Amino acid sequence: MTVAELQAEALLTTEEESQFVVIWRRFIRHRMALLGLITISILLLCVIIGPVFMPYDYTDQVKGAQRLGPFSTDHLGGYHVLGTDELGRDLLTRLLYAGRISLAVGFAVSFLETILGMTVGAVSGYYGGWTDTIAMRIVDLVLTIPSLPLLLVMSIILRNVEIPGIPREWTSVVVIVVILAGLQWTGPARLVRGMVLSLREQEFAEASKALGVSDTSIIFRHMIPNSMAPIIVSSTLAVGGAIIVESVLSFLGFGVQLPTPTWGNMLSNARTDMLMYPLLALYPGVLIFLAVLSFNFAGDGLRDAIDPRLKM
């Protein structure tokens, strides 16, 4: 066989790379995004598995061991890698457990706001007309609401609400997740609406209608899946934003209440002795910074990998 024939055969037999492989190759070229992904993976691994191997519970108090420094041993022989707080509680244990809650809030808010926003945006963009007008006016109304004051008020009102089947220490977490998702779904809704407005005029949508496919099936099997690329990027960035908002609420005393730890309320709890014991504030502050920065880097890299034309 000639060289030209061998090359032609090679081209015919070479399998086309999947879209996932192409995106992954672009993503790992973005060094900061890859570093962000590695950092997120390490944080998740530590907060999920770490508390299982710790010899303390996040509520355990060792009397006479208040505010021990890093790598200290208390009078009972217990070893504290990062030291203890003002009540003699192990800081590393509380930071790991707090990470579970802070990251869970971030992921839950991102998931709920994305699902709600996708649904509203897809229905609005697909049907248009009065449906679109009403949906977008609701979006405009939600956008005019001052988020932080409303969050503070709602957190106070709903702080003592009992939710059947949910432990009391997680009640405030659920309340904050619902409130944040209820205020932040407008971004994904507008994003998906814009995508669906362009998709509904394309040939595959017209062909589906001609074949008698229902509107619901077209929306959820064609419109939303074809709009997923920017939504995935948006939801990744939303995790970091939700962690910041939860931390601010907890820092102000309106979020998750002690003794249940989050990085935000641990930072708030350290305010009174920040000058004498700066490490009490440094640990949760650094973890918030790393988590949010890592999600933002990963989101930026994912955006460039999915659509290189967006890269500035």
Question: Tell me: the pLDDT tens digits for 65-81?
Answer: 788 888 888 888 888 88
For tokens 């460039």, what's the residue? Answer: 304
pLDDT of residue 35: 93
Angle between the N-to-C axes of helices 228-252 and 186-199, in degrees from 0 to 180, rounded to the nearest 10: 170
For tokens 């500035």, what's the residue? Answer: 312
CB 233 within 8 A of CB 243: no
d(CA 279, CA 258): 19
Over 60: is that where the pLDDT of 302 sits? yes
d(CA 104, CA 242): 10
Over 90: is that where the pLDDT of 41 sits? yes
Q: Is the peptide bond before 164 cis (omega within 30 degrees of 0)?
A: no
Nearest to 103 by CA among 300, 288, 301, 297: 288
Over 50: is that where the pLDDT of 230 sits? yes
pLDDT of residue 94: 92
Nearest to 83 by CA among 93, 97, 72: 72
| Burial status of residue 85 (CB atoms within 10 A of its CB: 0-12, 13-18, 19 or more) | buried
Residue-wise pLDDT for 84-129, tens only, equals 888 889 999 999 999 998 999 999 999 999 999 999 998 998 888 8
pLDDT band at 12 (very low <50, low <70, confident <90, very high): very low
Q: Percent of the chain having pLDDT more than 70?
A: 88
pLDDT of residue 46: 93
pLDDT of residue 169: 65
d(CA 229, CA 19): 11
The mean per-residue pLDDT over the stretch 271-285 comes to 85
d(CA 264, CA 246): 7
Over 60: is that where the pLDDT of 32 sits? yes
CATH numbers and ranges of domains, the chain: 22-310 (1.10.3720.10)
pLDDT band at 15 (very low <50, low <70, confident <90, very high): very low
pLDDT of residue 159: 65
Residue 260 identity (one-letter amino acid) = T
Over 70: is that where the pLDDT of 307 sits? no
Q: Percent of the chain having pLDDT more than 90?
A: 18
CB 174 within 8 A of CB 166: yes
Over 80: is that where the pLDDT of 43 sits? yes
Over 80: is that where the pLDDT of 203 sits? no
pLDDT band at 4 (very low <50, low <70, confident <90, very high): low
For the chain, how many residues are written? Answer: 312
Helix (H) or strand (E) holding 76: none
Over 70: is that where the pLDDT of 308 sits? no
CB 284 within 8 A of CB 251: no
Structure tokens at 203: 């040939």
The mean per-residue pLDDT over the stretch 262-269 comes to 87
d(CA 308, CA 302): 10
Nearest to 95 by CA among 254, 308, 264: 264
Note the pTM of the prediction, 2 decimals. Answer: 0.84
d(CA 172, CA 156): 10
